[in-house]
Amino acid sequence: MDRAALNAFLDREFPQIAGQIRVEALDQALVARLIVGPQHLRPGGTVSGPAIFALADVAIYLAILARIGEVALAVTTNASVDFMRKPQAGRDLLADCRILKLGRTLAVGECLIRSDGGSDIVARCSMTYSIPPKRA
């Protein structure tokens, strides 16, 4: 799947986050953007942990789909997030994701999340997904 197909899939299958997460680039890695709005903030005006987790989860999921095609029922089976520093205020977040292992039934990916325009890593995420068997 290319960038346009991934964004269309996201809008169609996940309307609850439509317009919030977009695939920005897709080559060796996938770059996804969280368009930060008031719903993503916690007290103090910084992006909340759940919003950062959601960006990582969706971005790695899309990086997998970019490789295997539209498999809507691939699901997260393990997740680890290291929150390293506060995101920069008023900035979108970018997740730079890559697939570390892609097997028939499991895929492992990681991403580094930064504030748009910043170089400091906000969070490092590692996730494993279960890929359902293909039906004949």
Task: Count up the domains in the chain and report the number.
Answer: 1
pTM over 0.85: yes
Q: pLDDT per residue over 69-78, tens digit each?
A: 998 789 999 9
CA 71 to CA 78: how far, in whole Å? 18
Instruction: Please report, for the domain that includes residue 113, its CATH number.
Output: 3.10.129.10
- pLDDT exceeds cutoff 70 at 50: yes
What domain range includes position 59? 3-130
Report if residue 136 sits inside a domain. no
- Two structure tokens written together for 100: 């570390």
Report if residue 135 sits inside a domain. no
